[in-house]
């Protein structure tokens, strides 16, 4: 189903896409390379957007740059804006955002 959703959004060239992702575990000690001081700042620079709301629940409280991976068919790691509550989810969940790939895991 997520592949169909991605196909539809890609065909219409939307800025925001829907993805089924899962949080990566044990990433809180990882730091982005300079000049970035946080993963949130890294995401904002790469997307040229403000990370002012959670990509899952849309709240505007305690937003961080979270490490996620796609739930199916992708072995890459990404940074997205999530609130601290959603950053603790253990299962798969949908987000609406731009994914920024990172090699840090």
Instruction: Say what the pLDDT of residue 74 is.
Output: 82
Instruction: Say what the pLDDT of residue 8 is.
Output: 38
The DSSP symbol for 40 reads: H
Residue 14 has pLDDT above 50, yes or no: no
| Per-residue pLDDT tens digits for 49-90 | 999 999 999 999 999 999 999 998 788 999 999 999 999 999
Contacts of residue 14, Cβ cutoff 8 Å, sequence gap at least 6: none
Residue of 28 and 70 predicted with greater confidence: 70
Residue 6 has pLDDT above 80, yes or no: no
Q: What is the mean pLDDT of the chain?
A: 86
Residue 96 has pLDDT above 50, yes or no: yes
> How far is it, in rounded angstroms, from Cα 28 to Cα 48?
24
Alpha helices, DSSP H, located in 13-38: none
Instruction: Say what the pLDDT of residue 28 is.
Output: 86
Two tokens, residue 17: 């896409």
């Amino acid at each position: 189903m997520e592949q169909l959703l991605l196909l539809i959004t890609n065909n219409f060239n939307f800025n925001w896409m829907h993805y089924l992702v899962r949080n990566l575990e044990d990433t809180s000690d990882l730091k982005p390379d300079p000049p970035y001081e946080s993963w949130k700042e890294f995401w904002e620079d790469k997307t040229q957007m403000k990370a002012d709301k959670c990509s899952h629940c849309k709240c505007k409280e305690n937003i961080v740059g979270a490490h996620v991976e796609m739930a199916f068919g992708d072995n890459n790691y990404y940074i997205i804006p999530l609130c601290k509550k959603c950053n603790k989810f253990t299962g798969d969940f949908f987000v609406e955002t731009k994914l920024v790939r990172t090699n840090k895991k």
